Amino acid sequence: MYKRNIYTVTENKKIAKDVFYMILEGDTSYITAPGQFINIEIDGFYLRRPISVCDWDDKTITIIYKVVGQGTQAMADMPAGTKLDILTGLGNGFTVAQDSKTPLVIGGGVGTPPMYALTKELIKQGAKPTVILGFTGKDDVFGEKEFKDLGCDVYITTNDGSYGTKGFVTDVIKNLSGYDYFYTCGPMAMLKAVAQATECSGQLSFEERMGCGFGGCMGCSCKTLTGYKRICTEGPVLLKEEIIW
């Protein structure tokens, strides 16, 4: 179930290369799980922009987004006080695995934001997650302090080696042991690599271009063992065991 409503931008600031942090004030009652997303209407653009929820409370939604085109550039230019027409409560988010005590939480680039609310929920449920975040270079890194402030062990990787471990998130995974589950969000190539590098079960959140965002256009389908699933409705979170790469 999703809800259309008007939200007010209360904060919008740059936190890394082409990456912005925005707080929206309004109805948050339709957001029920970490990993869900919102769909933002931007004046002058036909399609809404789907953005994952980083965190939320009873009055505000926090999102972190990357400027990749004219639509997200328009978002970056929005001052506090801007009113936005937004669909909230979209998608099926992460489900906390009740029998997992030492999970891996893995974010790649702008796949990092939804992992924050998830990590808070995992800790609340008594788990001790280890966090791995992958970026292109030092200027792209964000979120390290926030995850450390939650009490997590945090590993950062960069493709060029300018910060943290040189390489990919899988270069950290192969040197870790003792984890019993994983949750991840990021580019398709990273998701596939994580699924192949881990022997345990896990949940993967897919980044996908969307038309409607609520299942009407079938434009964001993913092939699974039980047929095609729409990333915007049956996803964005799917189980490792059901995905056909």
pLDDT in tens, 100-133: 999 999 999 999 999 999 999 999 999 999 999 9
Output the average pLDDT for the chain: 92
Contact residues for 204 (Cβ-Cβ < 8 A; gap 6+): 184, 185, 191, 194, 195, 237, 238, 239, 240, 243
Predicted pLDDT of residue 215: 56
Gap between the Cα atoms of 131 and 154, Å rounded: 5
| SS3 of the chain | CCEEEEEEEEEEEEEECCEEEEEEECCCCCCCCCCCEEEECCCCCCCCEEEEEEEECCCEEEEEEECCCHHHHHHHCCCCCCEEEEEEEECECCCCCCCCCCCEEEEEHHHCHHHHHHHHHHHHCCCCCEEEEEECCHHHCCCHHHHHHCCCEEEEEECCCCCCEECCHHHHHCCCCCCCCEEEEECHHHHHHHHHHCCCCEEEEECCCCCCCCCCCCCCEEEECCEEEECCCCCEEEEHHHECC
Average pLDDT of the residues in 134-153: 98
Q: What is the pLDDT of residues 144-203, one digit of tens each?
A: 999 999 999 999 999 999 999 999 999 999 999 999 999 999 999 999 999 999 989 999
The domains found in the chain, sorted by start residue, are 3-90 (2.40.30.10), 104-242 (3.40.50.80)
Gap between the Cα atoms of 7 and 23, Å rounded: 10
- Band (94; pLDDT cuts 50, 70, 90): very high
